[in-house]
Chains A and B, each alone.
Chain A
Amino acid sequence: MLDSFFVAAALTLDAPAIIPSSGESFFDWLSNSVFVSFVVSAFIIWFARQATKQLTVVPGPTQNMFEAVVQGLYDLIESIVGSHMVARAFSLLATLFIFILVSNWFALLPGVGSIGWGKDTPAGFEVLTPILRPTTADMNMTLAMACVFMVFWLYWSISEVGIKGFLDHIFGVKGGLTGFMALALIPVFLFVGVIEVVSMAFRPMSLSLRLFGNVFAGETLLSTMITLGKQLNLPDWIAYALSVTIPVPFYFLEILVGLLQATVFLLLCSVYLQLSTSHDEEEGH
């Protein structure tokens, strides 16, 4: 009786389409992580409207929490990016943070990853295409977010420091050298600039791989821990007891990792922004 409930949801690297389409059907793009991104953004929008329905000077509980989140993010970003840039960059960075955080924590709800189409295996029903799957556990989503940020980063830094300033940031002679020394070191700094460009080009990859890797590894960790009793083919009732008790600490770990990865994504994006939009007067000659 017990073995029918075992669900070994092995996550595949790419997010399969929810509706198992035979041929080229219209809903091919609706993968389970895209569906969850709709659900998550709908939840965020509903919560935001709920909090800002009637704004009172003495805030109600929802509004109070919402204000705390927005104010905290504003101060954090301002402390990194500087008061001038924060007005421009706050909306994108805060949205990225909130979306990643909510989708990471949404992934810890019971239904995600364990309900869906699958096949009967001797070890019980195995879910092959779960309906719900955390959006950040899908490389497309994290890469999309990272690329969107890089486009904005390029636009902001060029509009902030100008094309000449932007190129000077990368290839310019740094360290306040002047005169003959500067001329002598130009080829060196050109080479440094090339390395700088390579590292800038790799930033979206590292941002997206870090977020994707952490969340994907967390999902796999949880599903392995849940099915640990079954894998060690212990007797059913021990396996059932293990599958309930073992994952509990890992759920707390996942809550922390979800928050940490969202914070890291936000911090790194604002640090990258600050690096390339800092005006000359701050560097000091």
Chain B
Amino acid sequence: MDPSEAEFLAEKETITIIPNFSLDKVFLIGGDLGPFNPGLPVDVPVWFALNLKQRQKCRIVPPAWMDVEKLEEMRDLERREGAFTPVPSPFYMELSKLLLNYASDNIPKADEIRTLVKDIWDTRIAKLRLSADRFISQMEAHARLDNLTLMEINTIRSFLLDSLNCMYRLRSNLQPGSSKDRADY
């Protein structure tokens, strides 16, 4: 999967905005939006919030977890724990990236948040690499991956799955009869 597709899915999450215009309810196929009144917060999907932001028609309220103290806590926990800790949003990476790129003026301490999210991401990816290594060296057939997000899975997907397939093919050639010959092509 392309990272942009993970971002596409992240854009479906809802976020609070404070519009500076007024508009009646909009009846979209995927649900209703609005009504919009200047100064009154309203929940909309991220793709719409970013579009309004780019047209300077709203202020984005950053999600509650996008806060220096909370993220610091998370980073420390992530470093202490051996397993993956629960993330505040299944799209934390994509959302931080989108919001920090397009609405950094609405986010207090945007630079610190950027660094913290990157730290959390790095710690998690390091864990992910370690566990992938263990998975392969112990030749496991099943792994549980709670708390991993789509983007994290994505970074390792093609590499891990292709190597597992290759190893499977090599192994099934070593054990004749255990699987039918795949060298057809």
Tell whether A and B belong to one assembly: no
- Residues of B near any A CB (own CB < 8 A): none
